[in-house]
Amino acid sequence: MSTTVITGIGELATNDPTRVEEGGLLGLVRDAAVVVEGSRVAWVGPAAEAPAADVQVDAGGRAVIPGFVDSHSHLVFAGDRSAEFEARMTGQPYTAGGIRTTVARTRAATDEQLTSHVARLVAEMRAQGTTSVEIKSGYGLTVHDEARGLAVARQFTQDTTFLGAHVVPVEFQGDTTNPEDYVDLVTGPMLAAAAPHARWIDVFCEDGAFDVDQARAILAAGSDSGLRGRLHANQLTYGGGVQLACELGLVAVDHCTFLSDLDVESLGDSGTIATLLPGVEFSTRQPYPDARRLLDAGVRVALASDCNPGSCFTSSMALCIALAVREMRMTPAEALHGATAMGAAALARDDVGVLAPGKVADLVLLDAPSYVHLAYRPGVPLVAGVWQAGRPVVPG
């Protein structure tokens, strides 16, 4: 198997828990090298002690970080909603209803159109340093369209999430139907068709979408079909979603913008990760979640993009880091950790998000001397090279 040594790394963020004592939260190593063998990391340490390899890459004193793990995205869709964004920026509030416009366009798209659209977005993410991504369905909302959306997503990631419970589609809101009929569809035939293509099940638990009892029933049905649960909760208002996530011991609950003291306490006690999505608040002019309050209470915090056509159409994890530092009072180290190691934890993955022997060789070379530049230089493209599973996918 061919080996590559990336040497001359001025600052290496490993996220290796065994390096925390010397290297802080990120397990930093100065003047470092990483040896990659095949798809995995074989060796990490001081450059002066690095073993020889077939190929040598000189980082020239720049920083290397683990590839970003974006644990929350909605990439399977068709159509454009920039006009809705423009309307919102001229004073109209964000509601869950805009999802329905994307549903109509997604149903009308061909499989090939959906696949090429996801491929384009995944490539866009990779060029910005994201090497692992979770992709949800949720713009099909029929048995056929949810299953095909997940089949499309599966071509790009193992972390696919069935989100049939994104919003109640218009055809279930007439005089002869009601939203409970739609919950029956989601937990019955739609789940059966979706489950072979999914690892996770998710519910948009919010006013205008699904209430706590419906979310509980949907997550239970998913669990019976072998899917692990996650939840969109407490994005627009206070509510019971975070409590439900903690009670069920879900690995992650996402958004967490409006939290009571009890919610924060429950997150700390349960170990459920709070995944914050600051691109949404940026793009909707909503208040940001209070990351500092969560971290100070011992809650584990991840950052993700929530890339979607309605509330946040960014694929940039670097932007999320910059917002988390500037607007949510996370330290630069906490923000990078949240976008890498915590993102992996939020997907119950122990093979990515960390640079240590045996882990997947997902690395990003930054055109900067320190990871701090991700927050210090917002909006600047700093990714100079990306290796995904040991393969250079963006020239270094």
CB of 52 to Zn ion, least distance (A): 46
- How far is residue 271 from each of residues 133, 215, 245, 301, measured CA to CA in Å? 22, 20, 10, 10
Question: Is the CB of residue 108 less than 8 Å from the CB of residue 149?
Answer: no
Shortest spacing between CB 202 and Zn ion, in angstroms: 8
Q: Which is nearer to Zn ion, 70 or 306 (CB)?
A: 306
**Which of 23, 289 has the CB closer to Zn ion?**
289
The CA-CA-CA angle for residues 230, 232, 235, to 5°, reads 155
Query: Considering beta carbons, is residue 156 or 371 the nearer one to Zn ion?
Result: 156
Provide, rounded to whole angstroms, the least separation between the CB of residue 198 and Zn ion.
15
* Helices and strands (H, E) in the chain, number of each type: 16, 17
Q: How far is the CB of 146 from Zn ion (least distance, A)?
A: 15
Which positions lie near Zn ion, rule CB under 5 A? 306
Find the shortest distance in angstroms from Cβ 355 to Zn ion: 28
Between 19 and 166, CB nearer to Zn ion: 166
Query: Which residue minimizes CB distance to Zn ion?
Result: 306
Strands 228-233 and 200-205: parallel
CB of 254 to Zn ion, least distance (A): 6
Q: Which of 263/306 has CB closer to Zn ion? A: 306
In sequence order, what are the residues at sequence separation of 6 or more whose Cβ sits closer than 8 angstroms to the Cβ of residue 292?
Answer: 328, 329, 330
CA-only gyration radius of the chain, Å:
21
Q: 3-class secondary structure for 235-265?
A: CCCCCCHHHHHHHHCCCEEEECCCCCHHHHH
Q: What angle is formed at CA 125 by the lines to CA 120 and CA 127, rounded to 5 degrees? A: 95
Identify which of residues 139 and 371 has a Cβ nearer to Zn ion in the complex.
Answer: 139
> Which of 40/105 has CB closer to Zn ion?
105
Considering the complex, what minimum distance in angstroms separates the CB of residue 229 from Zn ion? 15
